[in-house]
Amino acid sequence: MGAFVPPKPEPTATGTLEATPLVHLLLYASDKALKGTVELTSSAGETASIFLVDGNPAKVKTSEPGPYLGGVLLELGYLTDEQHTQSLTDLARAKAAGTALHGHRLLLAGTVNVLKLEAGVREQLSRKLRQIAAMPGETSFAFYEGFDGLRGWGPDATRGFDAQPMLLPMLRENRPTSHVALALERLGTSHLRFTSAADLARLGLGPEERAAAQMLRVRPMNAAELTGACGLPPAEAQLLIYLLVVTGQIEVIRARSSPKAATPAPPSPRPVSMRPPAARPPSARPPSEHPGSVRPAASRPPSRPRQSRAPASPSPPEPSAELAQQLAERRREIVERAASLEHTDDFSLLGLAATATGDEVEAAFFSLAKRWHPDTVPLALADVRDPCARVFARMVEASKTLGSDEKRAHYRSALTAGPASRPRVEGLESTPEAVTSFHKAEACFLRQEYEKAEELCREAVDHDPEKADYQALLAWLLAQKPENRSPDKTNECIQMLDRAIALGERCAKAYFWRGSLYKRIGRSNSAALDFKRAVDLNPHNIDALRELRLYGMRGGDAARPRPTEMNMPKVSLDDADPGKSGVLGRMFKKP
């Protein structure tokens, strides 16, 4: 018999994910230090529950299976393959004799310590929240204050996890497009700065996002300025600004002008007050709320109708004198660089001496890409985006030429023997159509618009089938489709990456993606060798470095593969579920 669950009370608030995304719900719960359960139900019958303690999610249960705690600990490197397999066997045996929790048994066996288990549970909870955030917009939710709807399911939870470090991955995977657009619209041209209580460390940002956000510490900027200057793709920059706004990290510097010209405040992610319901006639209905709010279950007196606001002007605001000068200088730089391409050799294009090494070529290209990728062009300079794309395409070609020892030597000889104009290396040029399609595909890929990215990437490959980057991205996009995740289909995608690597031996992404697919089918040593090659080519590849660290923690050595392991049976993360309720012990009980 499970633990007694008290009768469910009346909900104190209700709403839908379309009106109030999960990010807003979590921030409101944290702000109000709520304790209780949020229950969600989609029109298709999918359900989920979140138990909150002091505003933090402590338990999460979904009707969709996974992710499982053992698989998460394995991915984090806290379990070896052998320990994972053995723990699942022991768990199945224990469940046959009664109730058993995977995390509890791992602790008792000494396989993991408290800190590792807590890290695994936190990551598992974060992934489950992302599952919930992906539920359809019409999904309805209800909050039951003071009610533990997950009592008896898994171990007791006396405290939860801070949700703020989980928000950016949640937003990336499930971008609330209308809410982001509304936030940016309300910010308008108002300048932004950090609040006195700002705490970027709490958000768990990566190095690039931290560097982008820190630009506001240099000087206040408006959203458009920050988007154009921070070095992130525009979609990523806008999402970062939205996150900083809804978490209260930044504030608006209000214009010192007449009240009519005052800057509107950014939209608050917090729903209206969640009060206990008051009695009302059965036919009474609460008034409609703003699209970004929660509708309380209790009725309220009708409010005075709001006057409609005039639509925002479609014309862009005039930039400040300082910004206008910066934009003019940037425009001139792009136009002049594009006009000089035919008379610039590859070494000069990358700012290198003719004696540069392959490593120097790679470092120079990565540095220039942050400035010359067409996605970094501000909206105000949209008319010179194409010239910038041509410059970037030439830089890509130059890095391919000079990155190979053999091709670099051939190119250097051609420079010495011929005129000062740029020699051509057969097979390296790409058509403007291919370059444009590929850049658009990359942008869609970053926004997780995978179908559109595949369509554009196929166009790039059709225009230029000899480009390693094009072939590699197409292979990775195909590998992400659910119907292509079987071993046979995965091997087909691996073969596509083999071809990409044959076309470009310094294509770091191709090695990383091939390693990821090797890992999917259990070829861990082959995966480690590819991750190591990806790091050798791009030491800043954080994901590849992480994979190598995990491999080393499991006792592997990427420099010395063990052929006998290649044919050892592997346990798929998707299949490792001898007993769902056993591995659904989300929260380890804390003192």
* The pLDDT of residue 47: 94
Does 579 map to a domain? no
Lowest-confidence segment of 77-91, 118-132, 208-222, 244-258 by average pLDDT: 244-258
Query: Cα 394 to the chain's mean position, in Å?
Result: 29
Residues 17, 90: one domain?
yes
pTM of structure? 0.49
C-alpha distance from residue 203 to each of 165, 169, 212, 525 (Å): 4, 10, 14, 34
Q: Which residue has the tokens 């030439």?
A: 394
> Nearest-5° angle of CA 460, CA 465, CA 470?
50
SS (H, E, C) 493-504: HHHHHHHHHHHC
Q: Are strands 36-41 and 13-16 parallel, antiparallel or unpaired?
A: unpaired
pLDDT: which is higher, 588 or 561:
561
Which residues is 61 bridged to in the sheet?
A: 49
Same domain membership, residue 219 and residue 339: no
Task: Please report whether residue 108 resides in a domain.
Answer: yes
* The pairing of beta strand 191-194 with beta strand 47-53: unpaired
Give the chain's domain count.
4
- The model's confidence at residue 144, banded by pLDDT at 50, 70 and 90, is very high
261 pLDDT band, cuts 50/70/90, is: very low
- pLDDT: which is higher, 37 or 97: 37
Does residue 157 share a domain with residue 180?
Answer: no
- DSSP states of 522-563: T-HHHHHHHHHHHHHH-TT-HHHHHHHHHHHHTT--TTS--G
Weakest-pLDDT range from 121-135, 137-151, 399-413, 453-467: 399-413
Say how far apart CA 215 and CA 196 lie, in whole Å. 16
Per-residue pLDDT at 375: 67
Residue 577 lies in a domain: no
Structural domain contains residue 138: yes
**Beta strand spans in 33-163 (E):** 36-41, 47-53, 56-62, 140-145
Six-digit token string for 129: 């929240």
Residue 109 makes CB contacts below 8 A (sequence gap 6+) with 87, 90
Residues, the chain, total? Answer: 591
Residue 212 and residue 139 share a domain: no
More confident residue, 406 or 255: 406
CATH of the domain at 545: 1.25.40.10
Same domain, 131 and 102: yes
Residue 590 lies in a domain: no
Q: What is the CATH number of the domain that holds 230?
A: 1.10.10
Judge if 142 and 242 occupy the same domain. no
- Can you give the pLDDT at residue 537? 82
Q: Report the SS3 class of residue 295.
A: strand
Give the pLDDT band of residue 270 (cuts 50, 70, 90). Answer: very low
Domain boundary among 243, 261, 279: 261
Which pLDDT score is estimated for 340?
85
User: For 323-336, how does the pLDDT look when each residue is reduced to its tens digit (9 = 90+)?
Assistant: 778 888 888 898 88
Centre a 10 Å sphere on the Cβ of residue 481 and count the other Cβ atoms it contains.
13
**193 shares a domain with 153:** no
DSSP 8-class letter at 201:
G
Which pLDDT tens digit goes with each residue over 487-546? 899 999 999 999 999 888 888 889 999 999 999 898 888 898 999 998 888 776 777 887
Please say whether the beta carbons of 37 and 143 come within 8 A: yes
Q: Is 340 helix (H, G, I), strand (E, B) or coil?
A: coil
For residue 569, whether the previous peptide bond is cis, meaning omega lies within 30 degrees of 0, is no
Max alpha carbon distance in the chain (Å)?
Answer: 93
* Helix (DSSP H) and strand (DSSP E) numbers for the chain: 24, 7
Question: Has residue 293 been placed in a domain?
Answer: no
Segment 399-419, tens digit of pLDDT: 878 888 888 888 888 887 755
More confident residue, 138 or 359: 138
- Give every CB contact of residue 481 below 8 A, 6+ residues apart in sequence: none
Cβ neighbourhood burial of 25 (10 Å; 0-12, 13-18, 19+): buried
- Please report the pLDDT score of residue 493 as a whole number: 94
Q: Which range, 96-110, 272-286, 434-448, is most confident?
A: 96-110
Strand-pair category, 13-16 with 140-145: antiparallel
The pLDDT of residue 96 is above 60: yes
Alpha carbon 77 to its chain's center = 21
Query: Which pLDDT belongs to residue 21?
Result: 92
Domain end position, chosen among 162, 185, 209: 162
**Amino acid code (one letter) for 105:** R
Could you tell me which residue, 324 or 566, shows the higher pLDDT? 324
pLDDT given for residue 540 in this prediction: 65
What is the spatial distance between Cα 27 and Cα 326, in angstroms, rounded to a whole number? Answer: 37
pLDDT value at position 430? 53
DSSP string, 97-117: HS---HHHHHHHHTSS-HHHH
- 125, 141, 162 - which closes a domain: 162
What tokens were used for 21?
């995304």
Residue 576: per-residue pLDDT: 31
Task: Tell me, yes or no, whether 236 and 142 share the same domain.
Answer: no
pLDDT in tens, 43-52: 888 999 999 9
Q: What is the mean pLDDT of residues 432-449?
A: 74
Shared domain for 231 and 325, answered yes or no, is no
What's residue 65's pLDDT?
Answer: 81
pLDDT of 4 higher than 90: no
Is residue 567 scored above 70 in pLDDT? no
Query: Bridge partners of 57?
Result: 52
Element (H, E) at 86: helix 81-97
- Specify if 364 maps to a domain: yes
Burial class (CB in 10 A: 0-12, 13-18, 19+), 292: buried
Amino acid 158 reads: T
**Confidence label for 241 from pLDDT (cuts 50, 70 and 90):** very high
Structural domain harbouring 555? 466-567
- Whether residue 73 is found in the same domain as residue 128: yes
Residue bearing the bigger pLDDT, 10 or 380: 10
Give the count of beta carbons closer than 10 Å to the beta carbon of residue 452: 14
The two three-digit tokens of residue 19, written as one number: 């009106």
361-378 pLDDT, tens per residue? Answer: 888 887 887 788 776 777
pLDDT of residue 385 exceeding 60, the answer is: yes
pLDDT top residue among 245 and 290: 245
- Is the pLDDT at 292 greater than 90? The verdict is no
The interaxial angle of helices 450-463 and 432-446, nearest 10 deg, is 160
Mean pLDDT computed over 269-285: 41
Dihedral of CA 250/255/259/264: which sign? Answer: negative
Nearest to 105 by CA among 579, 487, 591: 579
Q: If you average pLDDT over residues 39-67, what whole number do you get?
A: 92
* Same structural domain, 26 and 147: yes
pLDDT band at 127 (very low <50, low <70, confident <90, very high): very high
Residue 431: which pLDDT band, with cuts at 50, 70 and 90? low
Question: What pLDDT shows up at residue 168?
Answer: 92
Where does the pLDDT of residue 569 fall: very low under 50, low under 70, confident under 90, or very high at 90 and above? Answer: very low
Q: Are 11 and 144 in contact (CB under 8 A)?
A: yes
Q: Cα–Cα distance between 238 and 240 in angstroms, integer?
A: 5
Instruction: Please report which confidence band the pLDDT of residue 589 belongs to, taking 50, 70 and 90 as the band edges.
Output: very low
**In a domain? residue 519:** yes
User: Letter for the amino acid at 400?
Assistant: K
- Mean pLDDT over all residues of the chain? 77
What count of other Cβ atoms lies within 10 Å of the Cβ of residue 158? 12
Q: Are residues 65 and 137 in the same domain?
A: yes
Q: Of 294, 298, 245, which is closest to residue 17 (Cα–Cα)?
A: 294
Contact between 475 and 513 under an 8 Å Cβ cutoff? The reply is yes
Among the residue ranges 70-74, 214-218, 435-439, 460-464, the one predicted with the least confidence is: 435-439
Using CA atoms, how far apart are residues 74 and 78, in angstroms rounded to an integer? 6
Centre a 10 Å sphere on the Cβ of residue 43 and count the other Cβ atoms it contains: 10
Contact 537, 508 (CB under 8 A): yes
Mean pLDDT of 306-326: 55
